């Protein structure tokens, strides 16, 4: 499926992208509709009915879609992993709720934390949100959140800016008295994102999103394996940005202004006192 | 790029759907990945004398465990090969030497006959000692062979008093055999010593520890752990990094495991064609008691020793792994032929180092588990501008464009008028 294309051809294609706008939209939406059809009945898909288990390592992380809530029952001290896709222009927010069962078991104060890693397992900073929070001994729930930076379509290899691809969420207790290790708790994780719009659209694009193993799964052609790490409607093609509207609109306005300016110098038509044919 | 893949995927699926004549063919095909090896699980149950104690929901620990086992055996997914091993089931005497060897396989690892397995469990009666170490070794041998995922679920109510074999060391050695074996532990007694031993076993193999207080908790947790084994995962390939780049193993795209001692350097090599992008990520697991502050550094270096790019991360506090990654888009070269018409690949050396430290009492061998992912994809479209396609945006842009248009219009008008005037005078 992935063929090696020289960068020159790709550059040329990007240049033509604008011209191909309408046809491409029609074609991709048709393709996506066909691709979505068979899985519609198989996948739980619906809001809220997310997976009820969580992975325990990067490798076994449970896949989530944005807007889907993943739940899990685990023992305090476990490391729980989920993975969700985020695309260019999105600013993902990860929210996690830890429910501590109230009961006869006496608990002490505990500190919980979520960490978000990108597809290269690089830790991603949270702009805002309670990434780490302490639960009082009598607390029944802890709410954690992490607002990531806006995902860019390209960055220099020396930067760790968020790029389109998989994002791993790790939930764990970071500070817990030994007596409370292994006691049950419930967790719920959800990732949503805000579309940040054209202001954040940068030039350049990755050939493939940062999904681990993409060169292996892509080559063997198992579309199902790839689909696991993909957003529901596929990855964005990267050519659409509202900057097209601004620029084209600006051009039109400039043309109108030019016509207006030209007409100013013409005055209000031929002066009345000048006779015809002069 | 991405669009193209999606298009191709869409077209492929459309074609497949057409060829099959039925849309329902696709999910069916997706359900059965090509012959994955059956995941193996062994439940290791403590049948020592102390299991007689009645403290789980008013029942004896043994009864609770038996009921949980019945629930679990009912719920085991078809594809899982399940076995059961006991410890302390046979020798009731006082001879420590004999008692500490008392572990045997109750039900062999293989396709599960639920009735048979249940009957076998029903015969158990709390009897002897708690030789956890030998039981784990036995279980690891039972699960030997094949490429599948392996899991040992250890259910016990007592600490290993057998010595000198520390079960935690045993667990670490089992994990270091490179057989991707995970040990999950369940403790039936909230006792500090047992907890410490069981968490140590779990930590050493990347497993989990659960403190069980109720019967339903026990069956739910064991069922969950068995289900977890059935989850399809990619099994990594064991590799061994070298001490220098020249001796390093050459890696193809894929998932690898290795072991790295504290303070050690490991080198790997990857051949990257011009125009390709190398992606490497690494996780170093803290599988033993390490100090609170730690770090990892992954460097991509040329064969001549020049650093290209690095990924580094440091952390503090409780953790399972510390990971980092890097990306290196190899530049496209105009004339890189090696004579055969193919461009010559560039060898990139990956150097992995960790900044873990541990108290002197902690064993250094085997090294910390390392997981390495290598991907090679097409290179990115380099940015030629800060903004997408060099397009503009915002009111300032509109203002400038409108003003420019206006000025241009006015000038054109004036020039035209002036030229007409000149023409008229002539």
| pLDDT digit string, tens, across residues B98-115 | 888 888 899 999 888 889
| pLDDT digit string, tens, across residues B323-361 | 999 999 999 876 555 555 667 889 999 999 999 999 998
Greater model confidence, B359 or A6: B359
Least confident of B207-221, B311-325, B389-403: B207-221
Quote the minimal CA–CA distance from B320 to chain A in Å.
7
Quote the minimal CA–CA distance from A187 to chain B in Å.
15
Average pLDDT estimate for A136-149: 93
| Confidence label for A277 from pLDDT (cuts 50, 70 and 90) | low
CB contact at 8 A, B102 and B256: no
Q: Is A165 on the interface with B (CB under 8 A)?
A: no
Whether A10 sits inside 8 A of B381 (CB atoms) is yes
Q: Is B214 on the interface with A (CB under 8 A)?
A: no
| pLDDT digit string, tens, across residues B184-243 | 999 998 888 888 899 999 999 989 999 988 888 899 999 999 988 888 778 888 899 999
Q: What is the pLDDT of residue B102?
A: 85
CB contact at 8 A, A225 and A166: no
| Confidence label for B154 from pLDDT (cuts 50, 70 and 90) | very high
| pLDDT digit string, tens, across residues B64-82 | 999 999 999 998 988 899 9
| Confidence label for A214 from pLDDT (cuts 50, 70 and 90) | confident
Q: What is the pLDDT of residue A64?
A: 92
Q: What percentage of chain B exceeds 90 in pLDDT?
A: 46
Q: Which helix (H) or strand (E) holds A250?
A: helix A243-266
Q: What is the pLDDT of residue A278?
A: 52
- Which residues does chain A have within 8 Å of residue B329's beta carbon, measured at their own beta carbons? 157
Report which of B110, B117, B160, B109 is spatially closest to residue B136, judged by C-alpha positions.
B160
Per-residue pLDDT for A276 more than 80?
Answer: no
Q: A interface mutation test: which of B393, B394, B404, B408 has the most A CBs within 10 A?
A: B393
Q: What is the pLDDT of residue B249?
A: 95
Average pLDDT estimate for A154-178: 93
Average pLDDT estimate for A237-249: 91
Domains observed in chain B: 40-230 (3.40.50.410), 237-378 (2.60.120.380)
Q: For B323, which of A121, A256, A266 is closest by C-beta distance? A: A121
* DSSP letter string, B164-200: SS-HHHHHHHHHHTTS-EEEEEEESS--HHHHHHHHH
Average pLDDT estimate for B258-274: 94
Whether A182 sits inside 8 A of B211 (CB atoms) is yes
CB contact at 8 A, B48 and B158: yes
Q: Is B187 on the interface with A (CB under 8 A)?
A: yes
Q: What is the pLDDT of residue B101?
A: 83
| pLDDT digit string, tens, across residues A22-49 | 333 333 333 333 333 333 333 344 455 7
* DSSP letter string, A81-132: EEEEEE-TTEEEEEEEEEEPPPSSS----EEEEEEEEETT--EE--SBS-SE
Q: For A246, which of B12, B211, B394 is closest by C-beta distance? A: B394
Cα distances (Å, whole numbers) of residue A31 to A87, A221, A224, B15: 19, 17, 16, 11
Q: Is B332 on the interface with A (CB under 8 A)?
A: yes
Whether A238 sits inside 8 A of B5 (CB atoms) is no
Whether B393 sits inside 8 A of A246 (CB atoms) is yes
Least confident of A236-240, A260-264, B236-240: A236-240
Whether B323 sits inside 8 A of A205 (CB atoms) is no
Q: What is the pLDDT of residue B256?
A: 93
Q: Identify the DSSP state of B36.
A: P
Strand B40-46, strand B150-156: pairing: parallel
- Helices B167-176 and B132-142, interaxial angle, to 10°? 20
SS3 assignment, position B318: coil
A 133-162 residues with CB below 8 A of B? 153-154, 157-158, 160
pTM recorded for the entire structure:
0.83
Quote the minimal CA–CA distance from B62 to chain A in Å.
20
User: Helix, strand, coil % (nearest 5) of chain A?
Assistant: 25, 25, 45
A 52-81 residues with CB below 8 A of B? 53, 55-60, 73-75, 77-79
Q: A interface mutation test: which of B252, B287, B327, B407 has the most A CBs within 10 A?
A: B327
Per-residue pLDDT for B11 more than 50?
Answer: no
Domain residue spans of chain A: 46-237
Q: What is the pLDDT of residue A48?
A: 54
- Enter the CATH code of domain A46-237: 2.60.120.380
| pLDDT digit string, tens, across residues A174-206 | 988 888 888 889 999 999 999 988 889 999 999
Close Cβ partners of A232 (under 8 Å, ≥ 6 residues apart)? A36, A45, A65
Average pLDDT estimate for A63-73: 93
* DSSP letter string, B134-150: HHHHHHHHHT-SSSS-E
| Confidence label for A106 from pLDDT (cuts 50, 70 and 90) | low
CA atoms of B347 and B341, how far apart (whole Å): 18
Residue-level length of chain B: 426
CB contact at 8 A, B26 and A35: no
- Helices B114-122 and B61-75, interaxial angle, to 10°? 180
Strand B307-316, strand B293-302: pairing: antiparallel
Q: What is the pLDDT of residue B341?
A: 61
Q: Is A207 on the interface with B (CB under 8 A)?
A: yes
Q: What percentage of chain A exceeds 90 in pLDDT?
A: 53
Q: Is B329 on the interface with A (CB under 8 A)?
A: yes
Greater model confidence, A72 or A2: A72
């Amino acid at each position: 499926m992935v063929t090696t294309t020289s960068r020159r051809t790709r550059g040329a294609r990007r240049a033509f992208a604008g011209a191909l706008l309408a046809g491409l939209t029609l074609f991709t939406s048709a393709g996506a509709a066909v691709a979505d059809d068979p899985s519609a009945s198989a996948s739980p898909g619906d809001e809220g009915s997310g997976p009820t288990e969580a992975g325990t390592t990067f490798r076994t992380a449970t896949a989530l879609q944005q807007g889907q809530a993943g739940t899990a029952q685990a023992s305090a001290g476990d490391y729980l992993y989920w993975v969700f896709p985020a695309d260019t222009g999105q600013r993902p927010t990860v929210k996690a709720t830890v429910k501590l069962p109230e009961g006869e078991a006496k608990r002490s104060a505990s500190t919980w934390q979520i960490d978000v890693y990108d597809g290269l397992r690089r830790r991603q900073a949270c702009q805002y949100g309670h990434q780490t929070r302490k639960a009082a001994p009598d607390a029944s729930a802890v709410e954690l959140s992490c607002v990531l930076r806006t995902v860019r379509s390209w960055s220099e290899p020396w930067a760790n800016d968020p790029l389109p691809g998989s994002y791993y969420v790790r939930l764990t207790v970071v500070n817990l008295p030994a007596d409370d290790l292994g006691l049950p708790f419930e967790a719920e994780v959800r990732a949503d994102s805000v579309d940040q719009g054209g202001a954040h659209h940068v030039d350049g694009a990755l050939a493939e999103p940062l999904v681990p193993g993409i060169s292996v799964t892509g080559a063997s052609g198992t579309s199902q394996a790839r689909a696991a790490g993909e957003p529901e409607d596929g990855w964005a093609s990267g050519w659409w940005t509202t900057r097209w509207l601004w620029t084209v609109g600006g051009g039109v306005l400039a043309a109108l202004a030019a016509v207006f300016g030209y007409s100013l110098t013409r005055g209000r038509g031929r002066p009345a006192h000048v006779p015809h044919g002069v | 790029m991405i669009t193209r893949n999606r298009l191709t995927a869409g077209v492929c699926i459309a074609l497949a759907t057409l060829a099959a004549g039925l849309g329902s063919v696709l999910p069916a095909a997706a359900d059965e990945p090509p012959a994955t090896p059956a995941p193996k699980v062994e439940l290791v149950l403590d049948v020592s004398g102390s299991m007689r104690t009645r403290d789980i929901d008013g029942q004896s620990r043994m009864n609770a465990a038996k009921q949980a086992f019945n629930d679990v055996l009912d719920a085991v997914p078809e594809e899982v090969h399940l076995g059961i091993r006991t410890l302390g089931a046979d020798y009731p005497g006082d001879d420590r030497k004999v008692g500490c060897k008392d572990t045997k396989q109750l039900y062999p690892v293989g396709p599960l006959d639920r009735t048979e397995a249940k009957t076998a469990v029903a015969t158990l009666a709390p009897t002897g000692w708690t030789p956890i170490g030998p039981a784990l070794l036995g279980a690891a041998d039972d699960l030997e062979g094949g490429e599948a995922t392996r899991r040992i679920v250890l259910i016990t109510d007592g600490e290993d008093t057998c010595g000198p074999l520390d079960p935690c060391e045993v667990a670490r050695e089992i994990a270091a055999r490179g057989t991707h074996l995970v040990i999950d532990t369940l403790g039936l007694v909230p006792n500090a010593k047992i907890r410490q031993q069981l968490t140590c076993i779990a930590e050493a193999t990347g497993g989990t520890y659960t403190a069980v207080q109720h019967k339903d908790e026990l069956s739910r947790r064991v069922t969950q752990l068995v289900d977890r084994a059935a989850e399809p995962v990619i099994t990594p390939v064991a590799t061994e990094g070298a001490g220098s780049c020249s001796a390093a193993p050459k890696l193809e795209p894929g998932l690898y495991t290795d072991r790295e001692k504290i303070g050690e350097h490991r080198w790997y090599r990857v051949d990257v064609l011009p125009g390709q992008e190398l992606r490497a990520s690494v996780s170093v697991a803290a599988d033993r008691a390490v100090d609170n502050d730690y770090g990892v550094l992954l460097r991509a270096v040329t064969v001549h020793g020049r650093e290209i790019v690095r990924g580094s991360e440091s952390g503090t506090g409780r953790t399972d792994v510390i990971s980092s990654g890097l990306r290196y888009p190899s530049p496209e070269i105009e004339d890189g032929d090696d004579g055969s018409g193919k461009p010559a690949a560039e060898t990139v050396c990956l150097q992995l180092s960790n900044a873990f430290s541990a108290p002197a009492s902690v064993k250094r061998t085997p090294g910390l588990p390392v997981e390495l992912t290598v991907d090679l994809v097409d290179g990115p479209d380099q940015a030629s501008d800060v903004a997408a396609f060099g397009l503009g945006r915002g009111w300032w842009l509109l203002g400038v464009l409108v003003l420019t248009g206006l000025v241009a219009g006015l000038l054109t008008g004036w020039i035209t008028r002036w030229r007409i005037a000149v023409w008229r005078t002539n």
